[in-house]
Structure 1
Amino acid sequence: MSKIGFIGLGIMGRPMAGHLLDAGHEINTVEFGSSLPADLKEKGANVCANPKEVAAKSDVVITMVPDTPDVELVLFGEEGVIHGLKKDTLVIDMSSIAPIPTQEFSKRIQEAGGEYVDAPVSGGEGGAINAALTIMVGGTEKGFERAKPILEVMGKSITHIGENGSGQTCKVANQIVVALTIEAVSEGLLFASKAGADVAKVRESLLGGLAQSKILDVHGGRMIDRTFDPGFKIKLHQKDLNLALEGARTLNLSLPGTANAQQLFQACAANGGADWDHSGIVRALEKLADHEIGQ
C-alpha cells in the first residue's frame, strides 16, 4: 500500500480520498479551503501543516483543487509540495486546469526529481462517490503505469492520452461536449414543455432513441425535478470553457457553440447561479422564454 498525499477534499476529492483509504492506502492531507471531513478523519486520514509536509510524508501526491493558480500554489508556493518532494515521488494532478501551464508544472517537478502525471476526471459527484470516474491521463509511459493502480481505485475508464498536458487537453474537449449537450437537452425539454407536452414522458421517450445520453438521463431529470444543487458548479464549468476559448484563440479556431454556452452560464451567474449545478443552464433559457419546464 502507498503513502498518498491528497490535497483538495471538496465535492469530488472527498469521496476519492475515501476510496483510497478504504483500499488500505495511508492518506496525508492538508486543510486546503475546508476542514478535514469527519468521515475521512474516522478512517484514519492524517492532517499535515502544509503541502510541504504532505510531500515529505508521502510517496505519491494527488492534487484535486479548483483552478490553475491553485495547483501552482499547492505545488510551488512558499510551503508547497516541491519543497518537501522526495526523489521519485509521483505527483498526480487530478484538477481540471490549463494544458500549457500543466506542461511547465511537469517540467519543474521532473527537474526536482519527481514524476508528474496530469489526470483530470469526468463523471461528477456521482462518479466520484461510486468510484466510476473517467480519467484522462497525460504523462510518460512510466508515470502512467505507476499511477494506474491508484487511479483504478477511483475510476472505471482510464486512458493514457499521451504526453504531459494531453490529459488536460482531453478534459477541455470533454467539457465542450458536456456543456453543449446540456444546452441541447435544455432546449429540447424547454421546447416540449412550452408546446404543452408531458416533459417527463418526452424525456422517457428520448432516452429510447438516438438522442439518448447520460446527460439527458441525469441532467434532464434534474431540470424536470428542479434539483440544482451541485453536482458540478456552473462557475467551475465557466472556468473550463474559458480554457477552451483561450485555447481556441491560440489555435486560431472558432468554437461558436462553446461561446454561446459560456454566455448562458454567465447569465446564470449574473442571476445568482454561479454555485448551481451546471444543469441549471436551463434556467437562463427559461428566462428568455418566460417559461419554466413543467409549468
Structure 2
Amino acid sequence: MKKVGFIGLGTMGLPMTNHLLDAGFETYVVSRSRGPVDKAVSYGALEANSPKELMETVDIVMTCLPVPQSILDVYEGPNGLIAGASDGKIVIDHSTVNRETNMHVSKLLADKGALFLDAPVSGGPMGANAGTLTIMCGGEQAAFEQAKQVMEAFGEYIVHVGSTGSGTVVKLLNNMLIGVHQSALAECYIMAEKAGVDPAVAYDLIKRSAGFSKSMDWSVDAILDRQFDPRFSINLLHKDIRLALELAEQIDMPLDMIKLGERKVAEAKEEFGNQDVCAIVRPLEEKTGIMLKRRQ
C-alpha cells in the first residue's frame, strides 16, 4: 500500500483522511490548525512538519483547501509541496478553484517530474463521512489510474473527465447550478406557504414530479427545522459561482440565468454568508414576512 499525505483537514478533509486510514494507507497530515491535526493523529495519522516534508515522505499527496490563494500558499515557497516534489510523485487537489490554478501548479510539478490531478469532490460533509463522494478528475490518464485506488477510500463514483482543469470545469458547472436551484427553491417554498400549502407536502409531491432537483433534498429539512449550520456555506458557493462566471467570460459563454442566481446568492451572502447554502431563503423570508418552519 502506498504512503499518502493529506493537507486541509476541514469538514471534508478530516473524514476523507479517516477513510484513508481505515483503508490501511500509511497517512501523513499537515494543517494550519492544531485541533484537526490532533484529531487525525489520534485516529492513527502521522504528522509532517511542512508540506515539503510531507511530499518528500509519501507517494501521493491530496489537498482540500478553500480558495485559490490557499493552494498557492501550500504548493509554493521553500517549504511548499513543489519544493519537495520529485519524479513519480502524484498530487491530487480536491479543492474547488479555477483552471488557471490547476494549470499553474500542474506545470510547476511537471518540471519536477511529478504528476497532478485536479479532482474536485461533490457530496458535502455527509458524503465525506460516508465515503461516498463523487470525484471528477482532470489530468493525465496514467496519473488517474495510479491514484484511483487511493481515492476509492472515500469516493463512490470516480471519473476521469479529461485533461488538466476538466474536473474543475465540471465542479463549477455543478456549483453554479446549486446557486440557481437554491434561489428558485426559496421562491418555491415561500410561494407554497403564502398560498396556504405546507412546503413539506409540496416537496413530497414535487420530488415525484419533473420539477425535482437534488438540491431539494439538501435544503427542505434544514429550512423547515431552521438548521442553517454550514455544511457548504453561502460564502464558498458565491466564490465558486464567481469562478464559473470568470470561466464563462474567458470562453465567451453567455450565462444569463447563472448571473441572476449569483445576484441572489450575493444578496444572501451580505447577512448570512457563514450559514449553509439553504439560508439563501432568508432574505426572501425577510422581504415577505414569512418564516418557513415545519408544521406540527
**Which TM bucket (shorter chain)?**
over 0.9
Q: What is residue 90 of structure 2 aligned with on the other side?
A: 90
Give the drift of 1:214: 2.3
CA distance in 2, matches of 1:153, 1:285: 41
Q: Is contact 1:9–1:34 with CA below 8 Å preserved after alignment?
A: no
Q: Which amino acid aligns with 2:292?
A: I
Matched, 1:192 2:181: no
Q: Which residue number in structure 1 is paired with residue 260 of structure 2? A: 260
**1:38 positional shift:** 4.4
In 2, Cα distance between the equivalents of 1:212 and 1:235?
25
Identical positions, percent:
35
Aligned to 1:125: 125
Kindly indicate whether residue 238 of structure 2 is the aligned counterpart of residue 211 of structure 1.
no
- Partner SS state of residue 41, structure 1: helix
Task: Give the Cα–Cα distance (whole angstroms) in 2 for the partners of residues 166 and 43 of structure 1.
Answer: 34
Task: Give the conservation status (yes or no) of the 8 Å contact 1:186–1:220.
Answer: no
Q: After alignment, is 215-224 or 154-163 more displaced?
A: 215-224
Quote how far apart the aligned CAs of 1:225 are: 1.4
SS of 1:169's partner is helix
Counterpart check, 1:154 vs 2:141: no
Quick one: which amino acid aligns to residue 206 of structure 2? Answer: L
2:111 maps to which residue? 111
How far off its partner does 1:149 sit? 0.8
The answer on whether the counterparts of 1:193 and 1:294 sit within 8 Å (CA) in structure 2 is no
Could you say which residue in structure 2 is the equivalent of 1:274?
273
Amino acid at match of 1:54: L
Alpha-carbon distance in 1 for matches of 2:15, 2:214: 21
TM-score by length of 1: 0.95
1: distance between equivalents of 2:197 and 2:146?
Answer: 53
> Match of 1:238, SS?
helix
The gaps in structure 2 that reach 5 residues or longer are: none
Shift of 1:277: 0.6
What TM-score do the two structures reach when normalised by structure 2?
Answer: 0.95
Write the distance in 2 (CA, Å) between the matches of 1:224 and 1:281.
13
Aligned position for 2:182:
182
CA distance in structure 1 between the aligned counterparts of 2:24 and 2:147, rounded to whole angstroms: 16
After superposing on structure 2, the runs of 4+ consecutive aligned residues of structure 1 that deviate more than 4 Å are none
Conservation of the 8 A alpha-carbon contact between 2:50 and 2:79: yes
CA distance in structure 2 between the aligned counterparts of 1:68 and 1:5, rounded to whole angstroms: 20
Q: Which amino acid aligns with 1:182?
A: Q
Partner Cα separation in structure 2 for residue 292 and residue 257 of structure 1: 26
In structure 1, stretches of 5+ residues that fail to align are none
Query: What secondary structure does 2:29 align onto?
Result: strand
- In 2, Cα distance between equivalents of 1:34 and 1:172: 31
Query: Does the CA contact (< 8 Å) of 1:5 and 1:58 recur in 2?
Result: yes
Q: Matches of 1:284 and 1:258 in 2, distance apart?
A: 19
What count of residue pairs does the alignment treat as equivalent?
A: 294
Residues in 1 aligned to 2:288 and 2:201: alpha-carbon distance in whole angstroms: 21
The aligned residue for residue 28 of structure 1 is 28
Paired residue type of 1:259:
K
Q: Distance in 1 between matches of 2:223 and 2:254?
A: 29
CA–CA distance in structure 1, aligned partners of residues 20 and 215 of structure 2: 28
Letter in 2 for 1:111: D
Instruction: State the match for 1:233 in structure 2.
Output: 233
The RMSD of aligned alpha carbons is 1.5
Instruction: Give the CA deviation at 1:21.
Output: 0.6
Contact 1:268–1:274 (8 Å) recurs in 2: yes
Report the secondary structure of 1:185's partner residue. Answer: helix
Q: 1:44 to 1:13 in 2, by over 3 A?
A: same
Instruction: State the secondary structure of the residue aligned to 1:36.
Output: helix
Return the letter of the residue paired with 2:248. A
Letter in 1 for 2:95: S
Structure 1 residue 34: Cα displacement? 5.0
